[in-house]
Amino acid sequence: MTILILGAGQLARMMCLAGAPLNLNVVAYDVGSQKVVHPLTGEVYTTTLTQAIDQADAITAEFEHIPDDVLTLCCASNKFYPGKAAIKTGGDRALEKALLSKTSVKCAPYQLITEKAHLEQAVIALGKPLVIKTCQAGYDGKGQWRLKSDEQIEQIWSEMADFIASGTDIAPHSIIAEQMIPFDREVSIIGARDKSGNTVIYPLTENQHTNGVLTLSIAGKEKTTIQQQAEDAFNKLATELDYVGVLAIEFFDVDGQLLVNEIAPRVHNSGHWTQQGTHSSQFENHMRAVAGLPLGNTQLQRVTAMINVLGQAAIPTQVLSVPDVTSHWYGKTAKPGRKMGHINVSAATLHELGERLAELSEHLPEEDYPGVLATSTALI
Ligand code: ATP
Ligand code: MG
Ligand code: MG
């Protein structure tokens, strides 16, 4: 079988790596260059998008900000998963909030903004501080502003206008203001749903962000009550979207109550730990779901932490001397802050994981790899 992935970044690469042992041939469509490419080697094929769609047995995506014409072509083939509604919802915070409201899944109090007066009203209705986000096109904390005082309204409004004007596919004046949630921590749930509606769900992941970007995830710490809340949200949202594939949901944990931050209709950075922590990774399960194969085991095999490598030209090779460490390199050109690769480290117990993180922290400077040492101290 051949699977076509929209997007040719690291997520497509890791789906390709997971698909090969399943005898799945994976090709990617690079939306930027408009070329069909090999997701691992970058080899450019002469195939057009239309030909790639015809040749594919199933089509999926590694990101949600897909140009309308491409999405329409893919959906017309009836081979596209997780489906148009899921991709549109994941790519637009207004649609996302409407879905949460329809399914009675809790999120931060918010207001939609289409003109400057609404922003002033939101400050009065929701209080301060606020997080202001463009509804479309944001990722890794881009397209977001923190409003702490009324004096910032003018400047944030003009910066937002510039951001919106800089993108080609962003609807003007589509903005959301959310209460800034004083969360205890951030967690995410990742699960897969197959074409018959069967689901498998991974254990909850605890996530640390630095400047809006995920830096470290850890799996295997959870209490069942919180896991249950996250699974309920997953089941409601996946059912409502008639979802096929892997779906990720990010939450704020406020005193044991989960509020949804956002959803991602795809494999997700906070699920990279599943490559070593479970029997079937999120990449494998996404490939299985879209290819119509039975879903694989998502139970935790070993507690695992994932550390993102941001902007570095290589992973320090000494990390491989620490037991049960794996390196995942994406083969991209280094740029400051860019996701270049990740490191997974597994252990039999949380205590042992803490010891391994302590060892890793000797090779990973705090300024480039925040949270490694602090997490190790917390676990030991
Ligand atoms: P991603 O790369 O995960 O798609 P994104 O650009 O879509 O990122 P969000 O997940 O919405 O952005 O926000 C990034 C981070 O900013 C969150 O993980 C959280 O740390 C913080 N944040 C966002 N919204 C809020 C909020 N309402 N209250 C408090 N913190 C928030
Ligand atoms: Mg997002
Ligand atoms: Mg996010």
Q: What is the pLDDT of residues 49-73, one digit of tens each?
A: 999 999 999 999 999 999 999 999 9
Segments of the chain assigned to CATH 3.30.1490.20: 109-179
CATH 3.30.470.20 maps onto the chain at 185-379
- Per-residue pLDDT for 161 more than 90? no
Tell me the pLDDT band of 222, cut-offs 50, 70 and 90: confident
> Whole-model pTM?
0.96
Number of neighbours of residue 167 by Cβ within 10 angstroms: 14
Task: Ligand 1 pocket test: pick from 11, 131, 146, 211 the residue with the most ligand atoms within 8 Å of its Cβ.
Answer: 131
173 pLDDT exceeds 80? no
Whole-number pLDDT of residue 365? 96
Chain region(s) in the chain for CATH 3.40.50.20: 2-80
Mean of pLDDT over the chain: 95
Ligand nearest to the CA of 108: 1
Pick the CATH number of 2-80 from 3.40.50.2300, 3.40.50.20, 3.30.160.100, 3.40.5.10: 3.40.50.20
Helix-strand-coil split of the chain, %, nearest 5: 35, 30, 35
Ion ligand 3 nearby residues (CB, 5 A): 250, 262
217 lines ligand 1 (CB under 6 A): no
Are 279 and 301 contacting, i.e. CB atoms less than 8 angstroms apart? yes
User: What does the pLDDT read at residue 172?
Assistant: 58
Question: Residue 165 above 80 pLDDT?
Answer: no
pLDDT at 217: 98
What does the pLDDT average to over 22-44?
97
3-class SS of residue 250: strand
Q: Which fold has domain 109-179?
A: Dna Ligase; domain 1 (3.30.1490)
Q: Which atom of ligand 1 is nearest to the CA of 207?
A: 18
Selected from 3.30.470.20, 3.40.50.10860, 1.20.58.760, 3.30.1130.10, the CATH number assigned to the domain covering 185-379 reads 3.30.470.20
**Concatenated DSSP letters of 189-213:** EEEEE-TTS-EEEPPPEEEEEETTE
Say whether the ipTM exceeds 0.95: yes
Instruction: Give mean pLDDT, residues 107-121.
Output: 91
